[in-house]
Structure 1
Amino acid sequence: MKSLLPAVIALSLALSACQRESSQQAPATAPDAGQATPTPAQTPAQTPAPGQPAPIAEQPPADGMQLAHYDGYGDLKLGSSGEQARAAWGGELNSSTPSEPGGCTLLTPKWATDKADVAFMVEGDKFVRYDVTTDKQAAPGGGKVGMDQAALKALYPALSESPHKYVEGAKYLSVEAPAPAGTKLVFETDAEGKVVTWRVGLPPQVDYVESCS
């Protein structure tokens, strides 16, 4: 009996060592089904950037937005082709019907109450002039509808004048643009001397007193 005791002890030690090794190699048990799994931290939602104002092709420009320049209006450049002008506008434009192919045509934004707000003249497939008769937009240099001749003279010292073709007492007040060459800014006044419309364009179209009529 005594001779079996060492063998039993050795066997017990071997089994204990195997159990410890098996326990160390066993994979981690899956979490209990009833145990809540930690939820990853949520990234705060990004606040949308403030909406950009609609382009001028879709709505009238905001007050104080300067679009009129001696070389064009917004992205429309004087001397560009009719197709280029339309593409630069980037939206719908109403069009008058020319009397002949390549004849004088007026393009107006769809939001314009009439062609007096702003109108783009195309002749010979060239964008050659634009007209404005709203006091919400300033001409290059600061002139506006509603100003009198004295106010314009203060802004444009080289202003020249000539009598209106149709309205007694009314005038055309014009100034040569510094560039592009030949470009001119023309104001029309009523009989009381107040500006009622102005235009910027290339010769000879800038001097058409009847526009495309």
Structure 2
Amino acid sequence: MAAQLLLASRNAKKLAELRRVVAAAGLGDLEVVGLDDVHEYPEEPETGATFEDNALIKARSGAAATGLPCLADDSGIAVDALNGMPGVLSARWSGRHGDDPANNELLLAQISDVPDERRGAAFVSACALVAPDGVETTVRGEWRGRILRAPRGDHGFGYDPLFVPDDEAAGGRSSSELAPEEKDALSHRGKALAQLVPALTELARG
């Protein structure tokens, strides 16, 4: 029977992303499940000052409630012209959690007068893996790029339509214009998850 790994998220796109990483790493013995696949439990509020703090809050809560190893991601965008904000407030920047169009619209308005050469930004992802025995692993991935003046693309979520990666492989396309596999290879979350493959391999071995 495959070992189970809980991803502390109800975001279908994050689940799909982690499942692709697990499959690409050849970890067929590891079944990734989300919060909708386990009994509901009280989720701790994300009150951390950093991405790492919030990822650990979610991962510890999930591992304690279910007895499964739990992986949690906290991610967002840090805009140079806004001194690193929205940062940990990215998902609720407009005041409503997870309202991507409103968040994107507010961000564009806040930097509308910033010239193109100063619209640098980085997507940041902190991933925390907490095993039932209490062993904790935290990793961080960053993805540099710049903010567009209008959304582009139909893939992805969050601020993806506004972000053009610096990577040559992206060819000037926004994160939202990249195919899922292309994004996995370049993105902040892909970089963070890649660092967890050795620990995930151990979990798959049971």
TM-score range, shorter chain: under 0.3
TM-score, normalised on structure 1? Answer: 0.22
TM-score, normalised on structure 2? Answer: 0.23
Whose helix fraction is larger, Structure 1's or Structure 2's?
2
Larger RCO: Structure 1 or Structure 2 (Cα < 8 Å, ≥ 6 residues apart)? 2
Q: Which entry has the higher C-alpha Rg, 1 or 2?
A: 1
